[in-house]
Amino acid sequence: MAGSLLPMAETRPQDKPPTTKWQIDRLDARERRFSFIAAGAAVAFGVLVYVVQTDNHKFRVTKGHFTPQTTLVLGIVCGVLLVLATLLGRRAPVGFVALFTFLGFGTTDIALGAPFLLLAGWLLYRSYKLQKEAAATLRQAHAGAPKAEAPAGRSARTAPARAGGRPAPGTARAKGPATPEANKRYTPKRPPPPPVKPSRRERKAAQASD
């Protein structure tokens, strides 16, 4: 009875393999790591631009460029958005925020925005590559699948011969002497005509002879 008192082992269902759509949409471990690094770089670039431009007394804001304060706020906001998009785990939001960060820092210095453009392009390339591999695998699976055979009742080669000895269309005729075919224009014989009744004169002549 001691064995019945032991707790039964719990059986856990095995984890299902990720689907193709999940692999295309979701970030992997390496992409998450690079996205978090990009978030920290956005904040660091914003602080760096703010410090450099405010310490430079000869710096003047030109048309089409952000002020140091705007660049600092932009870097912090983009860093926070990159962290949130990375925690969401989807490639599309991370790529969109990375592209927005590139446009924000590109007005100040194109070299500061280039890493975020590379991140967005790399995520887009990864998604396209996984989608292409999944399509190739699907085509290969369809090509290797056996073709469905036609039903035996509908097969032209196994159809029974027609009435009159003719084979069904599409079937090979057996070699050998040709067998005579039945005549389709057969007409039944006419019945013999009824005997002619003797006339009255002939009947009288027969009675007289008797």
Report the share of the chain in percent with pLDDT over 90. Answer: 24
pTM above 0.85, yes or no: no
Rounded to the nearest 10 degrees, the angle between the axes of helix 29-55 and helix 91-106 is: 20
Write the CA distances from 86 to 98, 171, 209, integer angstroms: 11, 67, 137
As a whole number of angstroms, the distance between CA 123 and CA 125 comes to: 5
Tens-digit pLDDT profile for residues 26-79: 888 999 999 999 999 999 999 998 888 888 777 777 776 788 888 899 999 999
Mean per-residue pLDDT over the chain, rounded: 75
What letter would DSSP give residue 207?
Answer: H
- Helices assigned H by DSSP within 9-109: 20-25, 29-55, 68-88, 91-106
pLDDT in the model for residue 63: 72
192: CB partners within 8 A, 6+ apart: none
Tens-digit pLDDT profile for residues 2-31: 444 444 444 444 456 567 677 777 888 999
94 or 107, which is more confident: 94
Q: What is the DSSP string of 90-119?
A: BHHHHHHHHHHHHHHHHTT-HHHHHHHHHH
